[in-house]
Every structure is written in C-alpha cells, then in structure tokens.
Amino acid sequence: MKRNLGRAAQLVAALACVVVLSAYHHQGKTVKIKKSKEAVALQLPTGFKATVVADDLGAVRHLVVTKQGDLYVKLTKLKDGKGLYHLRDTDKDGYLDQQTGIGNYPGTGIALQNNYLYSASNTGVYRYLLNAKQEILKPEQPESIVQGLVAKTRDVSKSITLDKQGNLYVTVGSYSDACRQEGSGKGQMPCPLLDSVGGIWQFKTDKPNQSYGNAVHYATGLKNVVGLDWNSNTNSLFALQHGRGAMHDLFPQYYTPEQDAILPAETLYELPKGADGGWPYIYYDHQKKQKMLAPEYGGDGQKTGGETALDPLVAFPAHLAPNALLFYTGNMFPARYKNGAFIAFHGKSAELQKGYVVAFIPFKNGKPAGKWEIFADNFAGVDLVQPTGPIQHRPCGLAQGPDGALYVSDDLKGTVYRITYANKK
C-alpha cells in the first residue's frame, strides 16, 4: 500500500509539473524556429568570433541572458501581440530555436536579478517571479513596480538597471529638444519639464505601484538616456545621453548645416545622486571640449556655460545614438576588456562617416583609461561613406552571458549575435 501511495504521489507531482509547464508555454504562443542561414560578416578584433543565435525577432531592443543560457528580449513593437520574449535552445546546437511570447506591452528596459525579471513598458516597470531555472512562473500576472511615467510623442523608451542595495533606476527621456516657450525660440527658465522627464528616477525593487511621488529624483539634466548600467566595480551609476538636435534649423545665424551634423556630442557620465547634466540649458561640444550655452538660453555657438553641470567622462560625435551600455565582468575575453565599457551605437556620425557599431572603452581604477575604439563593425553591411543599399542591422542592446560571451541585439532585422573569444564556446 505504501509503495502504491508513493507512486501515486510521484504521478501527481509529475502531472503538476506538466500543468505548470503547459501553462507557461500557452500564456503566449510558443513556436519553433529554423536555424538562421545568414552569413555573419562582422568585423572583430583578432581572436573574436560572432555567431547568429536568433533572427527575425522584430524590433528587439535590450536583452538579458539567464544562467541557463536562455534569453529574454524586449521589443518596441508587438510581435504576435507580445513585446517580451523568452528564447531557448532546445536542441543545444547554439541557436535559440524556441520563442515564447509573454508580455503584451512594448518597451526597451530589462534586468535580471536574484529570483526576478524586471521588464519596462513605456510608462512603467513590471516584475516577474522566476523559478530555479529562471523561467517566469506567472507570465500573465506580473507585479507592477512602477507606473505613470511620462511617454508622449518621442523618446518614450524606459531603460532600467539595478544596484545591489534593492534600488531600481529608470530613465525618462524628454519629448522636447530644448524646453522652448510655445511660439518662441526662447527656452523656459526654469524648465518645467525637468520635474518628470530629462532624468533618472530611483525606485525600490520590491515595492509595488510606485510613481514619481515615491521616487528619488536621482539625476536631472539628461535629455534622453537609453544606455544605462550599474557598475559593480565602482558601485555607481553610468549613463549615456543622446544629444539634442535642430541647431541649424532653428538658429541658422549661429550654426551651419555642417555644424548641425556634428553637434552636440553624445556623452557618457558617472552619476552620483543629485547629478545634473545641464540639459536644456547647455550642450557639450566635443571639438572644443567645453560645455556650451544652448541657443535657446542666450548661446551663440561661442558662449560657454553650465559651470555647475557635470562634465562628461567621454564625448562622442553627434548622432551616433548610444543605445546600450555594459560593463564587462566576464573572464572569457582578454584581460584588457575586464571592467571596461561596451557601447552599442544605433546611429551614424556624419563626422566619422561611421556608425552602427559596438564600441569599447578601456577602464582602469573605475575611470576611462584610453580612447574609445570600435570593437564590432559592419552591422550596416554597406559602405557608409558611399552607401549603395539599405542598412541591414542596427545594434541596440548588449548583454553578458554566464560564460562571458557578449550578446548584441539588432532592432532592424531582429537578429541577436553572440560574440566569443578564441576557441571558447
């Protein structure tokens, strides 16, 4: 009798497991995908190799890798009604052949910590409880952690990162280039938009239904931050700002079309609590290496300003659109990459006649220790000096695998690349 009871218990447990797995897979459509046949033509430093591990995902933005080697990816446009996807390699051939849709909202930000997956919509952040394999337990019942963030006509994506003290950092970009007065070229002083956009807000990771009123306004004066990462080596927040535009269009008396194409810089900051990047009052000129007064606030292309604003650590040419930041902590890559910063540039620089690349900045003692360099090139697949066809891929998100591999997402074709070093798989 005891033996029969034991077998019955095992059967009940097995059936329960099947029910749980079935429920997981049927919350969103699970489909099998054939392995991509696309040839990988990325240009990488000697010893590095790239492979395509997922393809045709849609507008895939940021992503994370689980300890099992699965991926969770975010989409800015829904695919089959879903904006969050779980990708698996079911036959262990290196290609993520199974896709399960989960969340019914688009977005960009995503983070993985402890037993939870954090996933941003354009107006808030959800949290999903994970099992021991880092699979979502209740796909259709996420916990709302943050809600009510501003998302209007442009720069609506919310990037997120986590520290080790239970804090969640969320970016809110500005829908206005320069906080201008309606019907005027002059800027508002003080800028009323800064109370809800153009900065980074700090929330608690475990408190539901937070909004601006519950948050710490951690940093301000940042027009639009998409690349964001918590540096565990320095225990501090780093962010990449997209620069403003329309310099010549609105102020042709001060800026030529050529200047408009190369100004202002895209900038990297280390952000202490209370930091101010200076937007909309100033911008950074990487050629003059100075903070310049914005034309809406009395600037003429020559006047400096922003004495109390934070200086950038690194300044990049205009319009490169830094969309992801990742501090590398793995052991697969050579030692010079340890604790350095990888950046995914989503746009093109007229000054460099380059773009759509992954860059690298070496760090030492928590600070940049050399010039930035192109790490992975040819995502575009065309000559950017004399383009002869459409752009094929645009790097957007970065993630580090448990083995130290670097993953790069592309939001144009929906491809995910896995970059490894030497013979390490």
Same-domain check for residues 127 and 267: yes
State the Cα–Cα distance between residues 347 and 380, nearest whole angstrom. Answer: 10
* Cβ contact 411:73 at 8 Å: no
pLDDT band, very low/low/confident/very high, at 385 (cuts 50, 70, 90): confident
pLDDT tens per residue across span 243-293: 998 889 999 999 999 999 999 999 999 999 999 999 999 999 999 999 999
Range of the domain at 139: 33-421
**The pLDDT value given to residue 31:** 81
pLDDT value at 346 more than 60: yes
Cα distances from 304 to residues 98, 211, 289, 290, in angstroms, run: 54, 36, 10, 7
Give me the number of domains the chain comprises.
2
Q: Rounded mean pLDDT of 164-182?
A: 94
Same-domain check for residues 255 and 131: yes
Same-domain check for residues 6 and 131: no
List the beta bridge partners of residue 173.
none
Same-domain check for residues 194 and 266: yes
For the chain, give the mean pLDDT: 91
Rounded to a whole number of angstroms, the distance between the first and last alpha carbons of the chain is: 51
Name the strand (E) or helix (H) holding 25. Answer: helix 2-27
Same-domain check for residues 92 and 9: no
Same-domain check for residues 26 and 45: no
pLDDT band, very low/low/confident/very high, at 185 (cuts 50, 70, 90): confident
Same-domain check for residues 135 and 27: no
Task: Indicate yes or no: pTM above 0.85.
Answer: yes
What CATH number is attached to the domain comprising 209? 2.120.10.30
- Residue predicted with more confidence, 424 or 353: 353
Same-domain check for residues 164 and 176: yes
**The pLDDT value given to residue 41:** 87
Same-domain check for residues 26 and 87: no
Same-domain check for residues 20 and 107: no
Same-domain check for residues 25 and 92: no
pLDDT value at 6 more than 70: no
- Backbone phi, then psi, for 241, in 5-degree steps? -100, 135
pLDDT value at 149 more than 90: yes
pLDDT value at 8 more than 80: no
Same-domain check for residues 65 and 84: yes
pLDDT value at 164 more than 90: yes
